[in-house]
């Protein structure tokens, strides 16, 4: 397949603002979640900042914080930022992503330093009934507008549009269309990190290569869903090892959601389903607790604005040195399960 030329539609940020309270560092989980499986843990992320190069004038760093929007399915508390240089917490207006922002002068970075962020989080299973209900909340129209548009690496015309039309032919409604797309991806793609090109969330590359990681799986799903008229969105965070109670966090993980009338936002994880086909049915309509969400969306424009291109996705710190992307910043993360808290939450206490 050939990549088609796509012009990403410009969206007025003012029309797409998702209300986010910057003063709120915790989110009360919906009552219905209190009897659902949950995982409580303490997490720490450390941003390692090298000494500024000679002659550099300013280093700016945006460090993602755990997501606390109404659709996060996690409760964040005891958030603490330890930084030897001043910082402030900010957010971008379209998706509600939060981050600590630091502007570093040469005199503040003559030597390397770390910015340490710690917090407690209860991560809830997100599982929905696929049966429509009149009680299901309707999504705001601004969400429909944004989540039916292309992203830079998720075109909706050309190959993606054609493939979507072929695979959803005869399907009625969002659930049927999404199920056909999900089944197609699982039948044709396999999860691996072979070769190059994977990990960018490039829908056309995933369509051609038939493999990749979670960003590739879910970019293809989102592109095909949106092309079929089904609102779909991207979420990303850090992956928690399911069989360990503490240790380093080695990688990120992402998933997708689509909107179905009478149901609301429905989660899917095609990448995990590909890795464990026995759970393919579960991961259409549910995601487990082995993740902590950090951001939503693609093509992210930060505030204060970065000089470089919009971020493809945002799960690790992003930095610019004198207005240019700077990749010398490194990042590490670790966790420790709060076993007693997880047990109490899952029992509904």
Show me where the domains of the chain are located.
46-124+299-331, 127-288
pLDDT in tens, 3-29: 443 333 333 333 333 333 333 333 333
The domain 127-288 is placed in CATH, from the list 3.40.50.1100, 3.10.620.30, 3.40.50.1000, 1.10.760.10, at 3.10.620.30
Q: Residue written as tokens 């959803």?
A: 168
pLDDT of residue 115: 98
Q: In a 10 Å sphere around its CB, with 0-12 CB exposed, 13-18 middle and 19+ buried, how is residue 187 labelled? A: exposed
pLDDT of residue 326: 98
pLDDT in tens, 287-344: 999 999 999 999 999 999 999 999 999 999 999 999 999 999 999 999 999 866 544 4
pLDDT of residue 28: 34
pLDDT in tens, 57-70: 999 999 999 999 77
- The pair of three-digit structure tokens given for residue 337, joined into one six-digit string: 């399960």
Phi then psi for 330, rounded to 5 degrees?
A: -120, 170
Average pLDDT on 206-223 reads 96
pLDDT of residue 346: 44
Q: Where are the extended beta strands (E) located within the chain?
A: 38-49, 59-64, 74-82, 88-91, 98-104, 113-124, 126-127, 190-191, 211-212, 232-239, 246-248, 252-260, 264-268, 286-287, 291-296, 318-321, 324-325, 330-337
Q: Residue written as tokens 């032919």?
A: 169
Average pLDDT on 124-137 reads 84
Report pTM. 0.86
Q: In a 10 Å sphere around its CB, with 0-12 CB exposed, 13-18 middle and 19+ buried, how is residue 59 labelled? A: buried
Q: Using CA atoms, how far apart are residues 43 and 29, in angstroms rounded to an integer?
A: 19
Q: Determine contact, residues 201/312, Cβ cutoff 8 Å.
A: yes
Q: In a 10 Å sphere around its CB, with 0-12 CB exposed, 13-18 middle and 19+ buried, how is residue 228 labelled? A: buried
pLDDT-derived band at 242, boundaries 50, 70, 90: confident
pLDDT of residue 290: 96
Sequence-distant (6+) residues with CB within 8 A of 179 are 171, 284
- Give the H/E segment covering residue 275: helix 270-275
pLDDT-derived band at 98, boundaries 50, 70, 90: very high
Average pLDDT on 177-189 reads 98
Q: For residue 32, is pLDDT > 60?
A: no
More confident residue, 5 or 105: 105
Average pLDDT on 186-208 reads 93
């Amino acid at each position: 397949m050939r990549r088609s030329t796509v012009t990403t539609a410009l969206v007025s940020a003012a029309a797409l603002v998702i209300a986010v309270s910057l003063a709120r560092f915790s989110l009360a989980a919906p009552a219905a979640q209190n009897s659902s499986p949950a995982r409580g843990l303490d997490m720490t992320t450390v941003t390692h900042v090298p000494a500024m190069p000679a002659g550099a004038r300013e280093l700016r760093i945006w460090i993602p914080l755990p997501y606390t929007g109404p659709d996060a399915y996690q409760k964040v508390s005891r958030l603490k930022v330890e930084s030897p240089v001043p910082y402030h917490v900010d957010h971008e207006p379209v998706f509600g992503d939060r981050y600590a922002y630091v502007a570093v002068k040469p005199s503040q970075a003559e030597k390397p330093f770390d910015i340490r962020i710690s917090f407690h989080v209860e991560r809830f299973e997100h599982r929905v009934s696929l049966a429509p209900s009149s009680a299901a909340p309707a999504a705001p129209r601004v969400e429909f507008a944004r989540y039916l548009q292309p992203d830079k690496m998720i075109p909706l015309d050309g190959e993606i549009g054609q493939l979507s039309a072929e695979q959803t032919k005869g399907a009625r409604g969002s659930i049927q269309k999404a199920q056909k797309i999900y089944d197609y991806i699982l039948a044709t793609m396999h999860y691996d990190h072979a070769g190059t090109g994977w990990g960018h969330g490039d829908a056309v590359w995933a369509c051609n290569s038939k493999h990749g990681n979670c960003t590739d799986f879910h970019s293809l799903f989102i592109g095909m869903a949106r092309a079929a008229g089904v609102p779909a969105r991207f979420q990303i965070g850090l992956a928690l090892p399911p069989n360990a109670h503490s240790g380093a966090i080695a990688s990120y993980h992402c998933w997708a959601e689509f909107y179905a009338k009478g149901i609301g936002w429905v989660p899917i994880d095609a990448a995990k389903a590909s890795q464990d086909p026995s759970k393919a049915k579960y991961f259409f309509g549910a995601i487990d607790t082995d993740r902590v969400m950090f951001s939503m969306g693609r093509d992210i424009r930060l505030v204060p604005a970065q000089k470089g291109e919009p971020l493809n996705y945002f799960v690790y710190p992003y930095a610019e040195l004198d207005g240019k992307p700077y990749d010398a910043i490194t990042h590490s993360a670790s966790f420790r399960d709060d076993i007693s808290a997880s047990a109490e939450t899952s029992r509904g206490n």
